[in-house]
Amino acid sequence: MPYRVVASERRVGSPPIRRRLQGLLEKRGWWLFALFLSLMAAWAIFPGVFAPYDANYLNPRNRLISPGGASPEGSHIAGTDGLGVDLFSQMVEGARLTLMIAVVATLLGAAIGVTVGMLAGYFGGVVDRMLMRLGEAQTAMPMFLVAILLLSLLGPSVTILIIVLPTLVWPIFARVVRAETLQIKQATYIEAAVATGCPTSVVLYRHVLPNVVPRILVLFVVEIGHVMLAEAGLSFLGVGVQPPDITWGLLIAEGRPLLTVAWWLTILPGVLLSVTVLSLNILSRRFEQYAGAAA
């Protein structure tokens, strides 16, 4: 029987502009985002180097200078807020707490999720059902509202925030790791490990965990972005970080009442937050490609 060539339905022409842009960002431009994230990390670690002013120094005579303007003390790239504090310095200062909360909370969430997911996937049966139902029950609850409730009850503080935020993300880690573990469990090298005499803890730690790490890494980077947005949301609502601590979410909240007169107070920290989350997403895609190539 001769083969019949079936014409492909996919058009051969150039892909739509959106896809092209996305592809370009991921294939060529990813290092720009990596660079941006490194800059953010540098802000967080050495705010003194980057901030032109003290982020707590207020001078009402310099209030609401628009971006690019100048005061007797010097120029303000990002303008000043209602109390005359330099916004750029606040944004630099805010990077530390914003990133710290996001990274630590995601780490905690990942640790819980990976443990639960590995146990559920490896043991299966009752353990699996109990652990995963727990995660599902939690996913079914509007956790953001629960977080607001908890924070209002316990009083807003950075510590409570770091305890509450992981509950938002652990079920995602648990689900991914469980699925991955189910697959890895079938591998002959796991059977070989058991046959060799490895106790279950060693099987999980030395043989299962290293093989789920690539997937976790990708997820971890994405989830940092999610947690960052959640923290910004909570701080925006007033139950998250409290002044005089600064995070980007808090800056947005503080700028909101002045939105009509001073747009930069909300827009600039908002753009910063968005670009950071975008960078994390793009980098995670990049990681994913690497992880896929390695496996």
Partner 1 sequence: MNSPKPAPFAYGQIDERPEEDPGVDSSAPLEEGDRDTPVLLLEDLVVRFKSMEGIPITAVDRVSLRINRRETVGLVGETGCGKSTLARAALKLVPFQEGHVTLLGHDLAGLRNTELRSLRRRCQMIFQDPRGSLNPRMTVGRIIGEPLRVHGIGERREQAEAVREMMDLVGLPDELYARRPVQLSGGQQQRVGIARALITRPALVICDEPVSALDVSIRAQILNLLADLRDSLDVSFLFIAHDLAVVRHLSDRVAVMYLGRIVEEGPVGEIFAQPRHPYSQGLVAAILRADGFARQRLGQVRRLAAGDLPSLLNPPEGCRYQSRCPYALDDPCRKTPPPDFVDSSSGVSRLVACHRWEEIASDSLDSAVLGADGTEPDISIYAPPQGDPKDSVEPENRAGE
Stretch binding partner 1 (CB under 8 A), from 59-67, 74-82, 98-106, 203-211? 203-211
Distance CA 171, CA 114 (A): 9
Residue 80 sits at φ, ψ, to 5 deg, of -130, 165
Distance CA 248, CA 268 (A): 9
Tokens (6 digits) for 241 = 């970080």
Within residues 171-190, the interface with partner 1 by CB under 8 A covers 187-189
Distance CA 159, CA 148 (A): 14
Distance CA 91, CA 95 (A): 6
- Of 16 and 210, the one with the shorter C-beta distance to partner 1 is 210
Does residue 193 interact with partner 1 by CB under 8 A? yes
| Number of C-beta neighbours around residue 126 at 10 A | 8
> Using CB under 8 A as the criterion, what x/- string covers residues 26-45 for binding partner 1?
--------------------
The CA dihedral of 53, 57, 63, 66, to the nearest 10 degrees, is: 20
- Of 200 and 274, the one with the shorter C-beta distance to partner 1 is 200
> Using CB under 8 A as the criterion, what x/- string covers residues 250-279 for binding partner 1?
------------------------------
Report residue 267 CA to chain centroid gap.
20
Does residue 201 interact with partner 1 by CB under 8 A? no
Does residue 196 interact with partner 1 by CB under 8 A? yes
| Greatest Cα pair distance in the chain | 87
Select the residue interacting with partner 1 from 115, 139, 157, 211 (CB under 8 A).
211
Tell the smallest beta-carbon distance from residue 193 to partner 1 (Å): 7
Stretch binding partner 1 (CB under 8 A), from 113-121, 123-131, 136-144, 196-204? 196-204
Distance CA 114, CA 170 (A): 8
Stretch binding partner 1 (CB under 8 A), from 23-31, 159-167, 206-214, 264-272? 206-214
Does residue 68 interact with partner 1 by CB under 8 A? no
Closest listed residue to residue 85, CA positions, set 63, 104, 110:
63
**What percentage of the chain's residues is helix, strand, coil (to nearest 5)?**
75, 0, 25
> Using CB under 8 A as the criterion, what x/- string covers residues 89-128 for binding partner 1?
----------------------------------------
- Of 217 and 258, the one with the shorter C-beta distance to partner 1 is 217
Distance CA 115, CA 121 (A): 10
Helix axes 30-45, 264-294, angle to 10 degrees: 120
Select the residue interacting with partner 1 from 96, 207, 215, 286 (CB under 8 A).
207
Q: What count of Cα atoms within 13 Å lies in the side-chain half-sphere of residue 74?
A: 11
Tell the smallest beta-carbon distance from residue 136 to partner 1 (Å): 24
Tell the smallest beta-carbon distance from residue 187 to partner 1 (Å): 6
Select the residue interacting with partner 1 from 29, 199, 243, 292 (CB under 8 A).
199
Select the residue interacting with partner 1 from 12, 126, 145, 195 (CB under 8 A).
195
CB 131 within 8 A of CB 155: no
Contacts to partner 1 by CB under 8 A: 187-189, 191-199, 202, 206-207, 210-211, 213, 295
